[in-house]
Structure 1
Amino acid sequence: MIAIEGLSKNFTTANNRITAVDDLTLDIREGDIFGVIGYSGAGKSTFVRLLNRLEEPSDGKVVIDNQEITALNADDLRVTRQEIGMIFQHFNLLWSRTVKDNIAFPLEIAGVPKRERESRVQELIDLVGLDGREQAYPSQLSGGQKQRVGIARALANKPKVLLCDEATSALDPETTNAILDLLVGINKRLGLTIIIITHEMHVIRKICKQVAVMEAGKIVEQGDVLDVFLRPKQQVTKKFVEQVMGTDDEDDGVDDLAHTYDRGKIIRLHFVGETANQALISQVAKTFNIDINILQGKITRMQHGAYGTLFVQMDGAPDEMDRALRYITDETSVEVEVVRDVE
C-alpha cells in the first residue's frame, strides 16, 4: 500500500545543515494501523508531512497505492491529497465555522455539489459521534469533540490513508482512549490505512499492529507491536516499553519480597499474546501437588493479544516443582525464568 524508499529531509540554517529524516525506508500494508514513535526531535512529524508533501523531501520517494507521490506535479498532487486525510495535535479547525461547515470545507474545495456535500457531512457527524453538535463552533467544544471534528473533516473525501500527527497529545487520558477507540472502529469499518505518529507508548499498545521507532531521523527498530514489546533491542525502545510495563526497579521490589521466603522457587512467567488470558496459575496448582503464591505482576492488553510478566513463589517437592515447570514450558507459550531457587 505504502512504500517509502530512501526518504530524507534536510534543513539548512545560517550556521549548519540539519537532517530531520535520514534515508528512511519502510513498507506499510494496506488496512494496517501503523505506529511511528519517537521522542521530540526524532523526526517523526517531519516524516509524516513528507508522506503528503506538506514538506518536500530532499531525497527518496513515496509510493501510495502504486502512485509515486514524490513525482507528482502541483496540480496532480492537489488532487491526490484528497485521498490522504490528516489530523493534527491542535485540531487546526476554522474557528469562524460551525462543526458542519468545518467538515464540509474540504468537500467545497473539491467541488462536491451541495446536496451530496450535506449528505456526506451528516454521515460523518454520525460516524464520529457528534450528532446534535452540527451548529456548534470550535470554541464551544471540548478537546475530544474538536478532534472528532478533525477526524470527520479528514475523512470527508473518502481517503485511502489517514495520517495522525500526535492526534491525542493534547487530550486527557479518558478522551485519548475514546479517540483511539474511534480510530480502531474507523479502521475496521472503512478498511482505512492509518499511520499514527506519537511519543506515547500507550497509543501504540492500544491500537497499532506494527510499529517503527525513530531516533535522530532514522528508524532504529520496527516490527509487530507484541514482538517489539517482548524483545526491545534499542535503548530508546526499552524506555518506551517502560512507559507501559514499568521499570527494573519493580523487579528489585520483587527480589526484596522474595527474600521473605526461605524455600521453594521464585519464578518469572512471561506472557505474550492470548496466553495472557489463560488461567495458568490455577491450572498448575490443581494439576500438581505444589503451592503457588503470586508476588507481583502486570499484564497489559494490546490490539492483538496481551503482554505481561508475573512473579510467583512456587513451593513443594523438588521433583513436583520441576514437573510443573516442564509442563508450563512444554504445553504453553509462556516463557519461564527461575529467578531464585531456595533449597
Structure 2
Amino acid sequence: MIKINSLSKLFHTKSNLISAVDDLSLEIEKGEIFGVIGYSGAGKSTFIRLINRLENPTSGQVVIDGEDITSLSKNKLRLSRQNIGMIFQHFNLLWSRTVRENIAFPLEIAGISKQERMARVDELIGLVGLSGREDAYPSELSGGQKQRVGIARALANDPKVLLCDEATSALDPETTDSILKLLIDINEKLGLTIILITHEMHVIRKICHRVAVMEAGKVVEQGDVLDVFSHPIMPVTKKFVEQVMGDNNQEDSLEWLTTGYKNGDIIKLHFVGETTSQALISQVAKQFDVDINILQGKITQTQKGAYGSLIVHIDGVSDEKESALAYIKSAPVEVEVVHHAN
C-alpha cells in the first residue's frame, strides 16, 4: 500500500547540514496500524510530514497505492492529499468554528455541496462519539473531545491513510486509552491504514501491528510489535521496551532477589503469545518434588498477542530439580538461568 524508498531530508543551517531523515525505506501494508517510535530528535515527525509532503524530501520516493507522491505537481498534490488525513498533537482546530464547522471545513475546500457536507459531518460525529457536542466551540471541549474533532476532520474526505503525529502526547492516560480505542475501531470499521508517530512504547503496544524504531534519522529496527517486544535487538529498542515492562532496574532487582537464596536455581522465563496462558508453574509443582516460588513477573498485551517474563526460584534434590528444569525447557518458553546456587 505504502512504499517508502531511500527517503532523505536535509536541513541547511548557518553552521552545518542536518540530516533529519537519512535514507529511510519502509513498506506499510494496506489496513494495518504501523507505529514509528523514537526519542526527540530521531526524525520521526519530519518523516511523517514527508509522507504527505508538508515537507519536501531532499531525495527518495513515497508511493501510496501506486502513486508517487514525491513527483506530483502542486495541483495534483492538492487532490492527492484528500486521500491522506492527518491528526496533530495540539489538535490544530479553528477556534472560531464549532465542532460541526471544523469537521466540515475540508469538505468545503473540496467543493462538496452543503447537503452532502452536513450528512457526512453527522456520520462522523456519531463515529467519533461527539453526538450532542456539534455546536460547541473548541474552548468548550476537553482535550480528548478536541482530538476527536481532529480525527473526524481528518476522516472527512474518506482518506485511504491516516497520519497521527504524537496524537495522544498532550492527553492524560485515561483519555489516551479512549483515543487509542477509537483509532482501533476506525481501523477495523473502515479498513483504514494508520501510521502513528510516538515516543511512548505503551501506545505502540496497545494499538500497532508493526513498528519501526527510529534513531538519528534512520530506522534501526522494525518488525511485528510482539516480536520487537520479545526480542529487542538495538539498545534504543530495549530502552523503549523497558518503559512498558518495567525492567529498567532489572539488574539491581535480580541482585537483590538472589541474595536471599543460598540453594536452588533462579530462572527467568519469557512467554510469548498463547504460552502466556499456560499453567506451566502449577504443572511443574504437581509433577515434580520441588519447591517453586514466583519472585517477580509481568505480562503485557499487544495487538498480536501477549508477552511476559517470570522470575522463579526452584529448589529440590538434584535429580528432581534437573527433571523439572528439563520439563520447563521443553515447553514453548524461553528459559534463562540467572542464578545457580548449587
Question: Which TM-score band applies after superposition, normalised by the shorter structure?
Answer: over 0.9
Per the alignment, residue 333 of structure 1 pairs with 332
TM-score normalised over the length of structure 2: 0.97
CA distance in 1, matches of 2:174, 2:214: 27
Per the alignment, residue 230 of structure 1 pairs with 230
CA distance in 1, matches of 2:341, 2:214: 43
TM-score normalised over the length of structure 1: 0.96
Per the alignment, residue 179 of structure 1 pairs with 179
Contact 1:325/1:336 (<8 A) preserved: no
Identical pairs, percent: 70
AA partner of residue 71 (structure 1): S
AA partner of residue 170 (structure 1): A
CA distance in 2, matches of 1:128, 1:324: 52
Per the alignment, residue 216 of structure 1 pairs with 216
Per the alignment, residue 287 of structure 2 pairs with 287
Report the secondary structure of 1:36's partner residue.
strand
Report the secondary structure of 2:30's partner residue.
coil
Contact 1:230/1:272 (<8 A) preserved: yes
CA distance in 1, matches of 2:265, 2:4: 50
Per the alignment, residue 89 of structure 2 pairs with 89
What CA deviation, in whole Å up to 9, does each residue of 1:272-317 have, x standing for no partner? 1221122222222223232211101111111111122111111223
CA distance in 2, matches of 1:194, 1:11: 27
| Cα deviation, residue 257, structure 1 | 2.3
- Greater Cα shift, 116-125 or 81-90: 116-125
Report the secondary structure of 1:124's partner residue.
helix
Per the alignment, residue 205 of structure 2 pairs with 205
Residues 1-343 of structure 1 mapped to structure 2, 5 A cutoff: 1-330=1-330, 332-343=331-342
AA partner of residue 151 (structure 2): I
| Cα deviation, residue 112, structure 1 | 1.4
What CA deviation, in whole Å up to 9, does each residue of 1:43-85 have, x standing for no partner? 1101000000011111011100011111111111111101100
CA distance in 1, matches of 2:208, 2:337: 32
| Cα deviation, residue 99, structure 1 | 0.5
CA distance in 2, matches of 1:321, 1:153: 62
| Cα deviation, residue 246, structure 1 | 2.1
Report the secondary structure of 1:325's partner residue.
helix
CA distance in 2, matches of 1:21, 1:174: 33
Gaps of 5+ in 1: none
CA distance in 1, matches of 2:140, 2:108: 24
CA distance in 2, matches of 1:277, 1:88: 38
